[in-house]
């Protein structure tokens, strides 16, 4: 799968839907009967000319997902987003009003995008397939700058602040946030849902090394480097009808490993 580096010179020609809370890009449109919406859990804002003016550090966007047989839409959180509740509401409106032509709809959310989709499920008017990957349903301490400052060295904290800068959708996945206290995931019972829980057991890449190190620094007994396993499994604890898959992957690689060579990484 090819990816494009996001910068101020990138003019995005495939913006399908843009609100202050959610941005949807057409990644692959071949007129299929099945559509996928994939949220990688990353953020990007574009101006009126659809040129990015703010984005997550080192962000790249795909120009296709080879493993997905259907039309593909990419989902992003603008930095002006009011949070995961509003992003989910806007996304549900798009699905309900603009995706009626598809026989099947599959929604896949990584990290906070997975939490957003689970909370959004209650607003969807048709049955869909939903996948949640490395999703922090009980939150993650990585979004709590005060707690993280106590665990990291000064140099590590400087790097941390480049990635976590009090963006509202990140604050929504802080443990005990107002969003998580009031989130309603009960809508997942009306859909076909899979909860992909990732744990970094073996080291397969440099990203895995970094996440293994974070597991140690955050004192996670079981985790993917960003989210502990208990937080990921909470949705299945609430709703046992949501099928669980266990993946040997770090947070950085779990979505990629789900799409490619998954037989190698699925451990449960």
Quick: pLDDT tens for 46-69.
Answer: 999 999 999 999 899 998 888 899
pLDDT tens-digit readout, 78-88: 999 999 999 99
Residue 260 has pLDDT above 90, yes or no: no
Nearest CA among 164, 157, 104, 95 for reference residue 136: 164
Mean pLDDT of the chain: 93
Most confident residue range from 10-14, 96-100, 154-158: 96-100
Task: Give the count of domains, the chain.
Answer: 1
The token duo for 121 is 């499920």
Residue 210 has pLDDT above 90, yes or no: no
Residues 55 and 181: beta-carbon distance below 8 Å: no
Percent of the chain with pLDDT over 70: 100
Angle at 59 between CA 53 and CA 60, to 5 degrees: 110
Measured in whole angstroms, the distance separating CA 191 from the mean position of its chain's CA atoms is 18
> Residue 169 maps to which CATH number?
3.40.50
Distance (Å, rounded) from C-alpha 63 to C-alpha 215?
32
Residue 133: which domain range? 3-265
Beta carbons within 8 Å of 32's beta carbon, 6+ residues apart:
69, 70, 71, 102
The per-residue pLDDT for 1 is 65
Distance (Å, rounded) from C-alpha 63 to C-alpha 74?
9
Q: Which residues pair with 49 in a beta bridge?
A: none
Check residue 64 and report its DSSP letter.
-
Confidence of residue 261 (pLDDT cuts 50, 70, 90): confident
pLDDT tens-digit readout, 86-131: 999 999 999 999 999 999 999 999 999 999 999 999 999 999 999 9
Distance (Å, rounded) from C-alpha 37 to C-alpha 181?
26
Residue 151 has pLDDT above 90, yes or no: no
Residues 184 and 119: beta-carbon distance below 8 Å: yes
């Amino acid at each position: 799968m090819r990816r494009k580096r996001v910068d101020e010179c990138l003019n995005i020609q495939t913006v399908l839907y843009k609100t202050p809370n959610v941005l949807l890009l057409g990644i692959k449109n071949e007129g299929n009967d099945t559509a996928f919406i994939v949220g990688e859990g990353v953020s990007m804002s574009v101006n009126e000319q659809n040129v990015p003016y703010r984005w997550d550090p080192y962000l790249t966007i795909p120009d296709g997902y080879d493993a997905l047989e259907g039309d593909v839409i990419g989902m992003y959180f603008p930095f002006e987003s009011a949070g995961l509740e509003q992003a989910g509401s806007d996304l549900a409106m798009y699905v309900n009003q603009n995706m009626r032509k598809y026989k099947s709809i599959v929604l896949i959310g990584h990290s906070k995008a997975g939490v957003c989709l689970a909370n959004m499920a209650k607003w969807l008017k048709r049955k869909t397939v939903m996948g949640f990957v490395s999703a922090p349903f009980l939150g993650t301490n990585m979004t709590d700058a005060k707690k993280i400052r106590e665990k990291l060295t000064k140099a590590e904290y400087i790097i941390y602040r480049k990635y976590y800068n009090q963006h509202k959708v990140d604050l929504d996945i802080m443990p005990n946030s107002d969003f998580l206290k009031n989130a309603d995931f009960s809508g997942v019972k009306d859909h076909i849902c899979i909860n992909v829980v990732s744990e970094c057991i073996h080291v397969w890449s440099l990203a895995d090394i970094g996440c293994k190190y974070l597991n140690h620094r955050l004192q996670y007994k079981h985790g993917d480097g960003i989210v502990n396993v208990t937080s990921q499994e909470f949705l299945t604890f609430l709703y046992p009808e949501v099928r669980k898959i266990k993946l040997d992957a770090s947070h950085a690689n779990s979505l990629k490993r789900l799409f490619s060579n998954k037989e190698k990484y699925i451990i449960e």
